[in-house]
Amino acid sequence: MYDYIKGLFSYKNADTKSFFVTIEACGIGYMLEIMQRDFALLNEENTEVRMYTVLIHKEDKMSLCGFLKREDRDMFNVLTSVSGVGSKMALALLNSFQVSNLVGFVLDENHKALTNAKGVGQKLAQKIILELKGKLNSYKDSSIRTQINVPKIFNEQNVEDAQMVLVSLGYDNSEINSALESALKSLDASSSAEEILKKSLQILSV
């Protein structure tokens, strides 16, 4: 329903479990639940800010989650597609890890690393990796992949893994194509899928 809200950062507040920010746009104050990491970055009130949003619709209430970076919002949507992962858990994971690190854990099947996030036990970590790995594999077999010119010095599998993650995050073919080609120009041949993804996300976030 909402892609992002652009307006003035009015104020922020927190309780023992959650962090919130209010953004005023067109005379309306939108209260968004955010990550602690983004909460710490918002300091100067009455400055313009853009928050990428997700509308959470439950039986008893509706709420908004907000993110300063689009890739965090998109990864939030991917994480909450895993059964057993709600908005609180997804925020905790994103607060603990950068998107590229999270994807790296999934690609490497490193469930132990995921348990470093608050509230994530061994069983849930294994479930997250199993379901997300399955989603990435389904994208790998999909015809929606975009074709890019990969310099021969790069490991094509690493580039393809990064490409599939970007597809799963909801970026369109032209964005993926442009970001990957730009990323490869600034990386060396030994770059891992995680490093290629991280650089591509940095380019997409500009």
Residue 134: per-residue pLDDT? 76
Say yes or no: domain 70-140 is CATH 1.20.1050.10. no
Q: Which residues of 27-48 are buried (b: 16+ CB within 10 A; e: fewer)?
A: eeebebbbbebbbeebeeeeee
Mean pLDDT of 126-144: 72
Residue 165: pLDDT band with limits 50, 70, 90: confident
Residue 50: pLDDT band with limits 50, 70, 90: very high
Residue 148: per-residue pLDDT? 61
pLDDT above 70 covers a percentage of the chain that reads 90
Mean pLDDT of 83-107: 88
pLDDT over 60 (residue 144)? no
Tell me the domain boundaries of the chain: 4-67, 70-140, 156-204
Least confident of 31-45, 78-92, 164-178: 164-178
pLDDT over 50 (residue 17)? yes
Is the entire prediction scored with pTM above 0.95? Answer: no
Q: Which residues of 62-76 are buried (b: 16+ CB within 10 A; e: fewer)?
A: eebbbbbbbbbbbbb
Residue 171: per-residue pLDDT? 85
| Phi (first) and psi of residue 129, to 5 degrees | -65, -40
pLDDT above 90 covers a percentage of the chain that reads 43
pLDDT over 70 (residue 11)? yes
Residue 170: pLDDT band with limits 50, 70, 90: confident
- Say if residue 19 is exposed, middle or buried (CB neighbours under 10 Å; 0-12, 13-18, 19+): buried
Q: What is the CATH number of domain 4-67?
A: 2.40.50.140
Mean pLDDT of 61-66: 92
Asked if 4 and 53 touch (Cβ cutoff 8 Å), the reply is yes
Look over the chain and give the mean of its residue pLDDT values, rounded to a whole number. Answer: 86
